Amino acid sequence: MTEDAINQNPNENPESQNKPEVSPPASPVGEKTPPIEAKEKVSRRSFLTSATLAWGAFAVATAGILTGAGRFFFPNVLFEPPQTFKAGYPDEYTIGEVSERWKEKFGVWIVREKGMIYALSTVCTHLGCTPNWLGNEKKFKCPCHGSGFRSTGINFEGPAPRPLERYRIVLADDGQIFVDKTKKYQHEKGQWSDSESFIAV
């Protein structure tokens, strides 16, 4: 309430409010009031300006919220095993053995052959299940669709279209095996002879 309104005598209020309502009919019929209409009319220019500003602000806000909502689905911290790990010393693996030591936690088989150690991915190249190592039959067998792989990772039966992938494997400064899952080596691309796709022992 403005001060004027407060200072007014309440008894006079009805009259004072009525007056403006009564006066227009009292004015001569046909009297034109163009100045008021012109004042209230929104010009095309000002309408377009404010509409553009309003819709623009709305669009920016919506885009910002949608972007934030999209980003929301990519957390900054993952409660997953790290992509790199130390897998012990080469002596801990016997020649001709497929080690399942890191299968559960990191999804990696460490295979030691005569002269080399490599890290095989446990992801079947058919549709991504985890094969089992069948020690007696010396092969990996995928339970989902029956793909079979040799201990080297080469596919030989079932629907798998290509060999298992190998991960980057190097010797760390302390002499331990270091496996890096962010870099992979594919046989069909001729990458298994790359220097860091295996450790020579």
Partner 1 sequence: MADPKKKTMFQKIAESQFLKSIFRTGIPHTRRQRMMAVLNNVFLHLHPVRLPKHAVKVKYTWCMGGLSFFVFLVLTVTGILLMFYYRPTVEYAYGDIIDLAEQVPLGIMREIHRWGAHLMIITVWLHMFRVFMTGSYKPPREFNWVIGVLLLVLTMLLSFTGYLLPWDQLAIWAITVGSNMARATPFLGHEGPGAALLAIGDINLVHAASDVRFALLGGRFVGEATLLRFYVLHCIGFPFIIMIFMVVHFWRIRKDGGISGPT
User: Which of 40, 80, 173, 174 is in the footprint of partner 1 by CB under 8 A?
Assistant: 80
Question: Does residue 73 touch partner 1 according to CB under 8 A?
Answer: yes
128 binds partner 1 (CB under 8 A): yes
Of 101, 139, 144, 191, the one binding partner 1 (CB under 8 A) is 144
Scanning 2-10, 42-50, 60-68, 125-133 for contacts with partner 1 by CB under 8 A, the matching segment is 125-133
Which of 78, 82, 114, 137 binds partner 1 (CB under 8 A)? It is 78
Q: What tokens were used for 165? A: 């992938």
Instruction: Name which position in 79, 82, 174, 195 contacts partner 1 (CB under 8 A).
Output: 79
Binding mask 9-48 for partner 1 (x = CB under 8 A): ----------------------------------------
* 27 DSSP 8-state letter: S
In the complex, what is the shortest distance from the CB of residue 103 to partner 1, in angstroms, rounded to a whole number? 13
Q: Give all strands (DSSP E) within 62-188, no chain letters.
A: 84-86, 97-99, 108-113, 116-121, 132-134, 139-141, 148-149, 155-157, 166-171, 177-185
**How far apart are the C-alpha atoms of 187 and 8, rounded to whole Å?**
94
Asked if 158 touches partner 1 (CB under 8 A), the answer is no
- Any contact of residue 94 with partner 1 (CB under 8 A)? no
* 129 is a contact residue toward partner 1 (CB under 8 A): yes
Rounded CA-CA distance 186/69 in Å is 36
Q: Is the dihedral of CA 172, 178, 180, 183 positive or negative?
A: positive
Residue 74 in the binding site for partner 1 (CB under 8 A): yes
- The rounded distance, in Å, linking the Cα atoms of 16 and 7 is 13
Nearest to 168, CA basis, from 154, 176, 179, 158: 179
77 lies in the site for partner 1, by CB under 8 A: no
> Do residues 163 and 149 touch, judged by C-beta distance below 8 A?
yes
Residues forming contacts to partner 1 in the complex (CB under 8 A) are 70, 73-75, 78-80, 107, 127-129, 143-144
